[in-house]
Structure 1
Amino acid sequence: MNATMRRFVMGAAAVSMTLSVSACGKAGDDDSGSASTGSSSGGNSVGLLLPDSVTARYDKFDRPYFEAKVESLCPDCTVEYANAAGDPAKQAQQISSMVTKGVKVLVVDPQDSAAIKSSVQSAVDKGIKVIAYDRLAQGPVSAYVSFDTVKVGELQGQALLTALGSEATTKSKVVMINGDDADPNAAKFKEGAHNALDGKVDIAYEQSGLWKDTVAAQKMSAAITRLGAKNIAGVYAANDGMAGGIANTLKGAGVSGIPLTGQDAELAAIQRLLTGTQSATIYKAFKPEAEAAAQLAVNLLQGEDISALATRTETSGSGDKVPSRLLTPVSVTVDNIDDTVVKDGLYTVADICTADYVAACKKAGLE
């Protein structure tokens, strides 16, 4: 082989190696932070878009449960995944990216249900089916999977009243820290909580914590300044992330032993139940919710009927009537940890009863 030919062959080999390395990159990687699992067939592609990385459940539970169910139902299907990291504009860009990739069904937990409306419409205009997950997006959505959100709020409010016991009077001052007003679920949690609490206690301070522990902590501090630490009988926090920030603020203010609610059954919240710094959380079993969404997605992908799966109708903020499947939430206290999150395999006793919680676990009979 002469020198010229040798240089040509070596150059071709280098190009081939470069292309091979590029092809080995993680499928779906792009500026939107998305990734794909399964085969790369665009015709069998489902998009999963989750709203934030702050709430522990999404990447730890919802995503893997959803992906596993899709794979079991449709081995040739691809799941394209993206997390909006709390940014509605980023989520809109991620939807656009998935449309370009050729996904046929989008499962979206909207960071902002109203802001996402135009993105939903754009996807539907291109023949893509959209499923709203956990929060009801505005626009022409084909199906919705979530929990009975008003019931969640009612369970939270009732749990607070139960924990207050004889202190649940119209003179008892309660602080109420709600979720983000951009989330339609937040309004329904709030509605349900008011259904349970109004006329039973004095809601003396009510603000939005934006689903952020830092904001909730600031609001709690402001409530203490306004009402006085000794005058607060209990606190309604719309989710566990915010409850964590509130618990830290109460501890810093020297307040202990007052009821504090939450939602999502996060591990840290379950541990707070054991130590008495949180009185209740709401367990919305992530696996059946994610699997129901996966089943709906595959049915829509394959052109199958969904009426047996989505048996209710919910109305979105844009006035659209959406076939819906609403699951039943469960209130969790220190007394039923074993019969709920442990029984369902959400956490093991070992997950919960780490070194700092061994004594509390023993006291609660969780061994």
Structure 2
Amino acid sequence: MNAILRRAVIGTAAVSMALSMAACGKAGSDSKDSASSGDSKSIGLLLPENASSTRYESFDKPFIEAKVKALCSDCDVKYSNAEGSAAKQKQQFDTLIAQGVKVIVLDAVDAKSTQSWVKEAAAKNVKVVAYDRLATGPVAAYVSFDNEKVGELQGQALVEALGAKAADANIVMINGDEADPNAAKFKSGAHKALDGKVKKVVYEQSGEWKPTVAGQKIGAAITQLGKDGFQAVYSANDGMAAAIITQLKSSGITVPVGGQDAGLDAIQRLVTGDQSYTIYKAYKPLADSAAELAVSLLQGKDVKSVATATIDSDTDKGIPAKLLEPKVVTKANIKDTVIADGLYKAAEICTGEYAAGCAAAGLQ
């Protein structure tokens, strides 16, 4: 091979190698950018429990999955339920990050414990949408209801259920889990509505969102106060209300009891008169908003078109938020609320023992 030809071959090889290295460098750069920008097609969904409320499995999960699919046909949702364990939820959270999920919708079991989780996730460019409960740490967005307003509506509904007896009524309050920031909001709102409108809150304890605990607490209240020592019971949710009502019945006590979540069994208790009210927080708009936020974050879009408000947590300020409006449901407006919205059909509510009450309420 002559010198000229040899130089040409060497030059061609050098150019080829340079182009190859550049291509490799570009591919490596794209891969790194892709990982940091979070173009994974999976969205993590972590819900807190399935014991005190059936809503998470029956409504939140399927609604979120359906909306994600509608917005992003090749996206999928990786779902886990913590079954009331913060430790289990932390493991689920870590697993999602290890799997490369770039957006996690988190309804925290213990919102106060999530600060370090969310910080670690943010450091790995994983965005967290706080769902229903405002997790601590640098969450990317939050969607829930105005939870102090929920508590106010609960308190107002209890006063209305007491009617003319309200001013002389002693109240038992069974609140939610103190680790849940929503529980504090419900409690604060309820006191805002009750204080000054009823005689006194004579017994107040946390039911920890556990029906068994709520049943034990109302039993202790009966022992302490006597069967005639209180005229109404505030329960922070319907699952606890069910256990409270069972305990009251076994003790021969009939007083107004309210809750929240508008579960099917709670609506049926409204029909029979065992429960006075529940709070309907429309699950589909909540779930749809969470899915919209998650997909927007996954696609690198601004979430402020969905989260038009802001809220502060214990650790961070100015978090983009979407806050929805709750509604009181009583026997009188079942048709205009949960049935009108398609949450339940009259046929689902008015089975067997509930048929007579449904007929009286004009549901059949």
Measured against the shorter chain, the TM-score band is: 0.7 to 0.9
Match of 2:257 in 1: 260
Tell me which of 54, 58, 70 is aligned to 1:72.
70
Mapped to 2, the partners of 1:53 and 1:184 lie a distance apart of: 19
Mapped to 1, the partners of 2:155 and 2:163 lie a distance apart of: 13
Mapped to 1, the partners of 2:354 and 2:278 lie a distance apart of: 18
Mapped to 2, the partners of 1:302 and 1:319 lie a distance apart of: 24
Identical residues among aligned pairs (%): 58
- Which residue identity lines up with residue 79 of structure 2 in the other structure? Y
Match of 2:306 in 1: 309
Q: Is the 8 A contact 2:39 2:299 kept in 1?
A: no
Tell me which of 260, 269, 272 is aligned to 1:275.
272
Mean CA deviation greater in 226-235 or 69-78: 226-235
> Pairwise mapping of residues 130-169 of structure 1 onto structure 2 (< 5 A)?
130-169=128-167
1:243 pairs with 2:271: no
Mapped to 1, the partners of 2:82 and 2:319 lie a distance apart of: 24
Match of 1:207 in 2: 205
SS in 1 for 2:112: coil
Match of 2:24 in 1: none
User: Offset at 1:123?
Assistant: 1.1
SS in 1 for 2:305: coil
Q: Is the 8 A contact 1:138 1:320 kept in 2?
A: no
Q: Is the 8 A contact 2:309 2:322 kept in 1?
A: yes
**Alignment root-mean-square deviation, CA:** 1.1
User: Offset at 1:364?
Assistant: 0.7
Mapped to 2, the partners of 1:145 and 1:360 lie a distance apart of: 36
Tell me which of 181, 186, 190 is aligned to 1:184.
181
Mapped to 2, the partners of 1:43 and 1:136 lie a distance apart of: 25
1:220 pairs with 2:213: no
Match of 1:110 in 2: 108
Q: Is the 8 A contact 1:282 1:330 kept in 2?
A: yes
Match of 1:56 in 2: 54
Mapped to 1, the partners of 2:170 and 2:89 lie a distance apart of: 39
User: Offset at 1:337?
Assistant: 0.4
SS in 1 for 2:228: helix
User: Offset at 1:319?
Assistant: 3.5
Structure exhibiting the larger radius of gyration computed from Cα positions: 2
Mapped to 1, the partners of 2:79 and 2:151 lie a distance apart of: 30
SS in 1 for 2:300: coil
Q: Which has the higher helix share?
A: 2
SS in 2 for 1:231: coil
- Which residue identity lines up with residue 155 of structure 1 in the other structure? L
User: Offset at 1:114?
Assistant: 1.1
Unaligned runs of 5+ in 1: 1-40
Match of 1:123 in 2: 121
State the number of aligned residues: 325
SS in 2 for 1:232: coil
TM-score, with length taken from structure 2: 0.88
Mapped to 2, the partners of 1:366 and 1:130 lie a distance apart of: 42
Mapped to 2, the partners of 1:134 and 1:194 lie a distance apart of: 21
User: Offset at 1:224?
Assistant: 0.8
Q: Is the 8 A contact 1:49 1:83 kept in 2?
A: yes
SS in 2 for 1:362: helix
